[in-house]
Amino acid sequence: MRPTEDTYRHKGLRKKLVQGIQAKGITDERVLDAILEVPRHFFLDSAFDEAAYEDKAFPIGEGQTISQPYTVAYQSQLLELKPFEKVLEIGTGSAYQAVVLAEMGAQVYTIERQKKLFESNKSFPFLRKYHSIKFFYGDGYEGLPTYAPFEKIIITAAAPEIPQKLIQQLKPGGMMVIPLGSGEIQQMMRLTKLESGALKEEVFDHFSFVPMVGGKKG
Ligand code: SAH
């Protein structure tokens, strides 16, 4: 069962979580405010109420995880979001990252390749108030050509290489934040599509994501 109550205790735990993330170097106030706002325990079974506010990744079924809050904050900060920007997310998972981006004012288009996870979000009442998030079941490698171009793209699974179709769906001047690498550890990269079409590459810290896998899983 998913919890539905957000108590003072939860809010207190969240405040501590935000202080921890800040201490690890996240400075963007809008990111910190969003993490403070979103009841992360709603995204986990009620048995894991306390664990929800530890700065850790957590299993969400189907061999997948809800990303560590610090990682969510890190990627969100790198996106340098402006209000109402169109953001494509690859790997909806628990939808926590999507909600954090929506709280920051983004128009979120998020794709999940696993039907069970996609369906579970459809029956998650808390998500209904987020009209600015659109959920898709599909292969993130294909992106969403119908809705392109996007100002920002965030990949929340380990990509063995830069997905070229997604670069095509990026607006000139737009940015992609992507954990790149095929091993256990990936390098967080930020790719900016210059007006010329060339890519500017910036390299950040190391992280460990579940792999980005091609094709859909029914
Ligand atoms: N953003 C998520 C993190 C989920 S983990 C959250 O906040 O909880 C990564 C997710 O990416 C998994 O759910 C996995 O099924 C999904 N995924 C992996 N490869 C994918 C692909 N090609 N297209 C769409 N989703 C993919």
Confidence (pLDDT) at 137: 98
Across 161-175, b (16+ Cβ under 10 Å) vs e yields eebeebbebbeeebb
For residue 112, the CA-to-ligand 1 centroid distance in Å is 6
Smallest CA separation from ligand 1 atom 11, residue: 91
Catalytic residue flag (residue 67): yes
Structure tokens at 104: 């920051």
The CATH architecture annotation of domain 8-207 reads 3-Layer(aba) Sandwich (3.40)
CB atoms within 10 A of CB 111: 22
175 backbone φψ class: left, alpha, beta (φ>0; ψ -120 to 50):
beta
Digitized pLDDT (tens) for each residue of the chain, 218 residues in all? 889 899 999 999 999 999 999 999 999 999 999 999 999 999 998 888 889 999 999 988 888 899 999 999 999 999 999 989 999 999 999 999 999 999 999 999 999 999 999 999 999 999 999 999 999 999 999 999 999 999 999 999 999 999 999 999 999 999 999 999 999 999 999 999 999 989 999 999 999 999 999 999 99
Structure tokens at 10: 């939860």
Q: Which residues line ligand 1 (CB under 6 A)?
A: 64-67, 90-91, 93-94, 96-97, 111-114, 117, 139-141, 156-157, 210, 212-214
For residue 47, the CA-to-ligand 1 centroid distance in Å is 23
Would you give the DSSP letter of residue 126?
G
For residue 187, the CA-to-ligand 1 centroid distance in Å is 17
Confidence (pLDDT) at 89: 98
Beta-carbon contacts of 146 under 8 Å, excluding residues fewer than 6 positions away, are none
Confidence (pLDDT) at 50: 83
Domain ranges of the chain: 8-207
Residue identified by tokens 């009209």 is 131
Structure tokens at 86: 């169109």
pTM for the full model? 0.98
